[in-house]
Amino acid sequence: MIIAVDFDGTIVENAYPKIGKEIPFAIDTLLKLQEDRHQLILWTCRVGSELDAAVEFCRKRGLEFYACNKNYPEEKCDRDTPRKLTAELFIDDRNFGGMPDWGVIYAKIKNNDANTFNVDYKIERETKQKENAFVRILKFFFGR
Protein backbone atom coordinates (compact mmCIF):
# COMPACT_ATOMS: atom_id res chain seq x y z
CA MET A 1 0.00 0.00 0.00
CA ILE A 2 1.18 3.54 -0.71
CA ILE A 3 0.94 5.59 2.49
CA ALA A 4 1.48 9.35 2.69
CA VAL A 5 2.69 10.56 6.08
CA ASP A 6 2.71 14.11 7.43
CA PHE A 7 5.66 15.31 9.54
CA ASP A 8 4.71 18.10 11.97
CA GLY A 9 2.17 16.87 14.52
CA THR A 10 2.38 13.32 13.16
CA ILE A 11 6.00 12.14 13.38
CA VAL A 12 7.10 14.97 15.68
CA GLU A 13 5.21 17.35 17.93
CA ASN A 14 4.15 20.63 16.32
CA ALA A 15 6.96 23.17 16.66
CA TYR A 16 7.10 24.41 13.06
CA PRO A 17 9.39 25.78 11.67
CA LYS A 18 11.56 24.02 14.26
CA ILE A 19 11.48 20.26 14.59
CA GLY A 20 9.49 19.18 17.62
CA LYS A 21 10.08 16.23 19.90
CA GLU A 22 9.60 12.83 18.31
CA ILE A 23 6.13 11.41 18.95
CA PRO A 24 6.50 8.06 20.73
CA PHE A 25 6.36 5.04 18.41
CA ALA A 26 5.98 7.12 15.22
CA ILE A 27 9.34 6.21 13.67
CA ASP A 28 9.17 2.63 14.97
CA THR A 29 5.72 2.15 13.47
CA LEU A 30 6.73 3.61 10.12
CA LEU A 31 9.82 1.38 10.01
CA LYS A 32 7.60 -1.62 10.75
CA LEU A 33 5.22 -0.59 7.95
CA GLN A 34 8.18 -0.44 5.56
CA GLU A 35 9.28 -3.85 6.77
CA ASP A 36 5.76 -5.03 5.92
CA ARG A 37 6.43 -3.80 2.33
CA HIS A 38 4.35 -0.60 2.41
CA GLN A 39 5.68 2.35 0.42
CA LEU A 40 5.92 5.57 2.46
CA ILE A 41 5.82 9.09 1.05
CA LEU A 42 6.58 12.09 3.24
CA TRP A 43 3.72 14.53 2.65
CA THR A 44 4.35 17.84 4.39
CA CYS A 45 4.01 21.58 3.90
CA ARG A 46 7.76 21.87 4.52
CA VAL A 47 9.89 22.87 1.54
CA GLY A 48 13.53 23.82 0.96
CA SER A 49 15.84 23.67 3.97
CA GLU A 50 12.92 22.93 6.33
CA LEU A 51 12.04 19.86 4.26
CA ASP A 52 15.71 18.84 4.17
CA ALA A 53 15.82 19.06 7.99
CA ALA A 54 12.73 16.85 8.33
CA VAL A 55 14.12 14.27 5.90
CA GLU A 56 17.46 14.26 7.75
CA PHE A 57 15.68 13.90 11.11
CA CYS A 58 13.98 10.74 9.84
CA ARG A 59 17.09 9.47 8.03
CA LYS A 60 19.15 9.66 11.26
CA ARG A 61 16.57 7.35 12.83
CA GLY A 62 16.75 4.87 9.95
CA LEU A 63 13.60 6.01 8.15
CA GLU A 64 13.99 6.69 4.41
CA PHE A 65 10.93 7.73 2.43
CA TYR A 66 10.28 6.57 -1.12
CA ALA A 67 9.55 10.19 -2.10
CA CYS A 68 8.91 13.56 -0.47
CA ASN A 69 5.96 15.74 -1.49
CA LYS A 70 5.57 13.84 -4.77
CA ASN A 71 4.39 10.46 -6.01
CA TYR A 72 7.82 9.18 -7.03
CA PRO A 73 11.37 10.55 -6.66
CA GLU A 74 11.76 11.54 -10.33
CA GLU A 75 8.46 13.43 -10.55
CA LYS A 76 8.97 17.02 -11.66
CA CYS A 77 6.84 19.47 -9.70
CA ASP A 78 6.45 23.11 -10.59
CA ARG A 79 3.87 25.82 -10.02
CA ASP A 80 1.62 24.39 -12.74
CA THR A 81 1.74 20.82 -11.43
CA PRO A 82 -0.85 19.85 -8.81
CA ARG A 83 0.63 18.25 -5.71
CA LYS A 84 -2.11 15.63 -5.42
CA LEU A 85 -0.72 12.29 -4.30
CA THR A 86 -2.02 8.93 -5.45
CA ALA A 87 -1.55 7.44 -1.97
CA GLU A 88 -4.07 4.92 -0.73
CA LEU A 89 -3.88 6.15 2.86
CA PHE A 90 -2.89 9.43 4.52
CA ILE A 91 -1.59 9.59 8.09
CA ASP A 92 -1.94 13.16 9.33
CA ASP A 93 -2.67 14.87 12.64
CA ARG A 94 -5.25 16.97 10.80
CA ASN A 95 -7.37 13.92 9.94
CA PHE A 96 -11.08 14.21 10.49
CA GLY A 97 -11.33 13.00 14.06
CA GLY A 98 -7.72 13.74 14.95
CA MET A 99 -4.58 11.66 15.11
CA PRO A 100 -5.08 8.06 16.27
CA ASP A 101 -2.45 6.39 18.41
CA TRP A 102 0.39 4.87 16.37
CA GLY A 103 -0.47 1.41 17.74
CA VAL A 104 -4.01 1.76 16.42
CA ILE A 105 -2.70 2.93 13.05
CA TYR A 106 -0.39 -0.05 12.72
CA ALA A 107 -3.04 -2.56 13.80
CA LYS A 108 -5.59 -1.18 11.34
CA ILE A 109 -3.13 -1.28 8.44
CA LYS A 110 -1.74 -4.70 9.41
CA ASN A 111 -5.25 -6.15 9.58
CA ASN A 112 -6.21 -4.46 6.29
CA ASP A 113 -8.83 -2.60 8.29
CA ALA A 114 -7.87 1.02 7.58
CA ASN A 115 -11.31 1.82 6.15
CA THR A 116 -12.92 1.46 9.60
CA PHE A 117 -11.21 4.58 11.00
CA ASN A 118 -14.27 6.65 10.07
CA VAL A 119 -16.70 4.10 11.53
CA ASP A 120 -14.77 4.02 14.82
CA TYR A 121 -14.70 7.80 14.93
CA LYS A 122 -18.47 7.99 14.32
CA ILE A 123 -19.17 5.57 17.19
CA GLU A 124 -16.80 7.47 19.49
CA ARG A 125 -18.38 10.82 18.53
CA GLU A 126 -21.93 9.51 19.10
CA THR A 127 -20.90 8.18 22.52
CA LYS A 128 -19.43 11.56 23.47
CA GLN A 129 -22.58 13.32 22.25
CA LYS A 130 -24.74 11.10 24.47
CA GLU A 131 -22.45 11.75 27.44
CA ASN A 132 -22.53 15.45 26.73
CA ALA A 133 -26.34 15.43 26.61
CA PHE A 134 -26.42 13.69 29.99
CA VAL A 135 -24.00 16.22 31.46
CA ARG A 136 -26.11 19.06 30.07
CA ILE A 137 -29.23 17.64 31.73
CA LEU A 138 -27.41 17.36 35.06
CA LYS A 139 -26.23 20.94 34.78
CA PHE A 140 -29.75 22.08 33.98
CA PHE A 141 -31.24 20.42 37.06
CA PHE A 142 -28.36 20.74 39.51
CA GLY A 143 -26.57 23.83 38.19
CA ARG A 144 -23.12 22.29 38.00
Which comes out higher in pLDDT, residue 2 or 76? 2
Amino acid of residue 126? E
In this prediction, residue 137 carries a pLDDT of: 65
Angle at 33 between CA 29 and CA 39, to 5 degrees: 130
* pLDDT tens profile 67-111: 998 887 777 776 666 677 888 889 988 886 778 888 888 888 888
CA–CA dist 119, 44 (Å, integer): 26
Q: Which fold has domain 2-112?
A: Rossmann fold (3.40.50)
Amino acid of residue 29? T
Write 19-28 long-range contacts (CB < 8 A, 24+): 19/53, 19/54, 19/57, 22/61, 23/102, 24/102, 25/101, 25/102, 25/103, 26/102, 27/58, 27/61, 27/62, 27/63, 28/102
**For 117-133, what is the mean pLDDT?**
55
In this prediction, residue 136 carries a pLDDT of: 63
Total-model pTM: 0.73
Domain map (residue ranges) of the chain: 2-112, 116-144
* pLDDT tens profile 30-58: 999 999 999 999 999 999 999 999 999 99
Quick one: 38 exposed, middle or buried, by C-beta within 10 A (0-12, 13-18, 19+)?
Answer: middle
Bridge partner residues of 5 (DSSP) = 42, 91
Which comes out higher in pLDDT, residue 135 or 73? 73
**For 9-37, what is the mean pLDDT?**
94
